[in-house]
Structure 1
Amino acid sequence: MKLTIDDVRSRFIEHFDGTTGSVYASPGRINLIGEHTDYNDGFVFPGAVQQGMIAEIKVNGTRNVRAYSIDLKDYVEFSLDDEKGPKASWARYIFGVCREMMALGIPVEGFNTAFAGDVPLGAGMSSSAALESVYAFALNDMFGENKIDKMTLAKVGQATEHKYLGCNCGIMDQFASVHGKAGSLMRLDCRSGEFEYFPFDPKGYKLVLVNSCVKHELVGSPYNDRRRSCENVAAVINKHHPEVKSLRDADYAMLDEVKNEVSAEDFMRAKYVIGEKERVLAVCDALEKGDYETVGQKMYETHYGLSKEYEVSCPELDFLNDIAKEEGVTGSRIMGGGFGGCTINLVSDELYDNFVKVVKSKFKEKFGKEPVIIDVVIGDGSRKLC
């Protein structure tokens, strides 16, 4: 069921003083192609989805934030002036956004808030970015006399991940959540911040997420490890080619040149990123021509790279990708950071019903549980609802 304003408002009234505040929404996102390229200054190609986060907020006349997570049934209160902040990870997203907005000169005051989301957790649709974005947008709207631009709001969310949650993420998720536009995907240059909307209404095809409902517990921080691999290789290439500041600037020839100066693992990860940079641009050209066969081919190439070179797949995701190939699906790949979550699939209308049936039965037969099918509708970005 789709989350509504009433779902959030009824809980806000129940948990606070019986009055109402302002309601804001920010979406999760899909990414057609361009995975793990954002922190390498490359290109990404996301779109906002209809699922997201809804938050009700009302100033409370104190320096404290009183926050209730409807989904987790958890309440946290913290002071805006406490540099350490709350321990609960979900509350640290809100705390981090408040602190980053204050650092930008926004005179944030204490408030009461309740929020909920219908972005599937662990599906690679960036529920965390939706949470950051809804509060960044709301605080800008409520307290900002000189309004901050949308890209800066996205950077507030990114800084929150870095400083308060320990995830050294790129800018794509927050960018897509803030800037989304119904019926359009966006090509973002993660170095310059320049972006372009691409109308996306693929006649004869559907975008379908297949959620494995698996999120593998991982030792350490594989996301940050991969980012370090990319930075290591870029630094070595830079010694030979000073113009190379990140893997965005490198090509296969440069990578081969330093093959003996980097680890085999770092080499393979860099190889994936350089290839993915080219695939994003190829998909943009193909979309402008209505060439969805090429789009699909590049999606399969990306999955191979993520699985075999970047090593962020898992047996469940590879199995879903294999089924898509066997059933003649135009394109399929891991979406998101990996190690679980979803595949994103470009499925022709005539194959859709059979694909859904087959993928559910085969996956359940092998792994003992049905995957969840999520039909993608491209929606709007951060906004005030009432």
Structure 2
Amino acid sequence: MDIEFVRSRFVKHFDGKTGNIYASPGRINLIGEHTDYNGGFVFPGAVEQGIMAEIRPNGQKTCNVYSIDLKDMVHFTIDDPKGPSATWARYIYGIVQEMRALGVDVKPFNAAFAGDVPLGAGMSSSAALESCFAFALNDLFGDNKVSKWDLVLAGQATEHKYIGVNCGIMDQFASVFGKKGKLMRLDCRSREFEYFPWEPKGYKLVLLNSKVKHELKGSPYNDRRNSCENVVKALGQQFPDKKFETLRDADWDELEAVKDKVSAEDYKRAHFVLGEKDRVLAVCDALQAGDYETVGQKMYETHYGLSKEYEVSCEELDFLNNVAKECGVTGSRIMGGGFGGCTINLVKDEIYDKFIATAKKNFKAAYDHEPVVIDVVIGDGARKIC
């Protein structure tokens, strides 16, 4: 992102004075999808693309926030009980409220922000926005007294309370804790995490953005979370002497024991989650051994589970996954919440050009547009730029 561009928009729309500039990244997730809210493991990394914002206290009664990309200005007061109606602004309003709840004495401010995280690509532009403003408000008004984990939880609470998405903590965690050249294995139950060097020799990590985002009725994300909770409830009834907080606490035998006590759909969802928990740990072992073939195999297994068991894929993403298989790509899967967005692909250097050319050609022939190629560079988490 261009610092001077963000600054020029800030100066134009406000009083000509400059403020502080902050940035926070989007993320990729190598493996471990829909496991965070089930207490399992995830394996994300921050990327170079993200959100950049210039912010300055204004001494007024209202917060004035300008979205450079949308060319939209929103005003709200700190103690407004309802907040703005525009969805993008509710992320920022929510962060203001959550930081105040943490004891940060947030004062009215002017802000302008822009992003280069592709919207709808499953790279968590919303978490980048939340983390950017949480970090900034902590720096400006809290003297950095709020911990990084509290910043993560403030972003998650914003999704829950102000957006209506009952997300886990992976997206905000990656955006806050990311480090250049490192992936992270996060235990979403204990919050313990470990950095893993990500500098694979002979391979590239690349996203293919289908540019598709299917409109869905209801809340399919929350529906799948409810399925998992239904199975946890059944497990608790079947095994009253054991505590089941999430599907993380279940093993395969226990899941089979309640198969006839839950719906076929709920069972499929839970089956995917238990398998994904095992796959993340297998990938960690494979990476430590430099075994990228196993990493790739587990990625394909995850795609199958997301498509057939969790049912969050779509025709276009399955198409891109099949192209990857046909081209001999080491690993490929849908990335993110689903129903559109990207596949993430682990590709040997020697077939990279052929794979990209084939994917573009075949996808355009099938869907009348090319996928967008996003080469992944692992970057740093939320930070102050200047």
Name the structure 1 match of 2:73.
75
- What is the one-letter code of the residue matched to 1:341? G
Q: Contact 1:25–1:385 (CA<8 Å) still a contact in 2?
A: yes
Residue-by-residue CA offset, 1:232-265 (whole Å, 9 max, x unaligned): 1011112223232210011221111011100000
Q: 1:89 aligns with which of 80, 87, 91?
A: 87
Name the structure 2 match of 1:20.
18
Note the residue ranges of structure 2 that are not aligned, 5 or more in a row. Answer: none
Name the structure 2 match of 1:305.
305
d(CA) in 2 for partners of 1:217, 1:305: 22
Q: Contact 1:66–1:78 (CA<8 Å) still a contact in 2?
A: yes
Note the residue ranges of structure 1 that are not aligned, 5 or more in a row. Answer: none
RMSD: 0.7
- What is the one-letter code of the residue matched to 1:301? E
Aligned 1:138-153 pairs, distance under 5 A: 138-145=136-143, 147-153=145-151
Name the structure 2 match of 1:262.
262
CA drift of 1:146 comes to 5.8
TM-score, structure 2 as length reference: 0.99
CA drift of 1:62 comes to 2.2
- Is 1:252 matched with 2:252? yes
Q: Contact 1:63–1:81 (CA<8 Å) still a contact in 2?
A: no
Residue-by-residue CA offset, 1:180-222 (whole Å, 9 max, x unaligned): 0000000001011111000010000000000000000000000
d(CA) in 2 for partners of 1:143, 1:289: 45
**1:48 aligns to what SS in structure 2?**
strand
Aligned 1:174-193 pairs, distance under 5 A: 174-193=172-191
Aligned 1:137-286 pairs, distance under 5 A: 137-145=135-143, 147-241=145-239, 242-286=242-286
- What is the one-letter code of the residue matched to 2:311? E
Higher alpha-carbon deviation: 59-68 or 133-142? 59-68
**2:328 aligns to what SS in structure 1?**
coil
CA drift of 1:145 comes to 3.5
Name the structure 2 match of 1:31.
29
Name the structure 2 match of 1:373.
373
d(CA) in 1 for partners of 2:303, 2:131: 28
d(CA) in 1 for partners of 2:314, 2:251: 28
Q: 1:58 aligns with which of 46, 56, 74?
A: 56
**1:182 aligns to what SS in structure 2?**
coil
Higher alpha-carbon deviation: 296-305 or 242-251? 242-251
State how many pairs are aligned: 384
Higher alpha-carbon deviation: 109-118 or 249-258? 249-258
d(CA) in 2 for partners of 1:50, 1:28: 8
CA drift of 1:147 comes to 1.0
TM-score, structure 1 as length reference: 0.99
- What is the one-letter code of the residue matched to 1:342? C
